[in-house]
């Protein structure tokens, strides 16, 4: 099994071509909540984690959640 580097949550969002506002809307959360996730102030629950994985089209195993 290879170890791949993890990217930040914000980098995964940008890689998906989404602004914070657009991503938050599609995730059903407010922008401040997404900012808190990206800054490590709070952690998303597993429901949101799975939505992030689908929206960003990136395996959550390779996204660093602070």
Which DSSP string corresponds to 3-21?
A: PPPPEEHHHHHHHTT--HH
CA-to-CA distance for 5 and 35, rounded, in angstroms? 22
The model's pTM: 0.88
Is the predicted pLDDT of residue 20 greater than 60, yes or no? yes
Tell me the pLDDT tens digit for each residue of 27-62.
Answer: 999 999 999 999 999 999 999 999 999 999 988 889
Residue 1 pLDDT class (50, 70, 90 cuts): very low
Write down the pLDDT at residue 49: 94
pLDDT, position 66:
75
């Amino acid at each position: 099994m290879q170890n791949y580097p993890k990217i930040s949550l914000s980098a995964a969002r940008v890689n998906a071509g989404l602004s914070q506002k657009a991503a938050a809307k599609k995730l059903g959360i407010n922008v401040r909540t997404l900012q808190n996730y990206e800054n490590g102030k709070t952690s998303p629950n597993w429901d949101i984690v799975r939505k992030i994985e689908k929206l960003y089209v990136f395996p959550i195993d390779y996204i660093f959640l602070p």
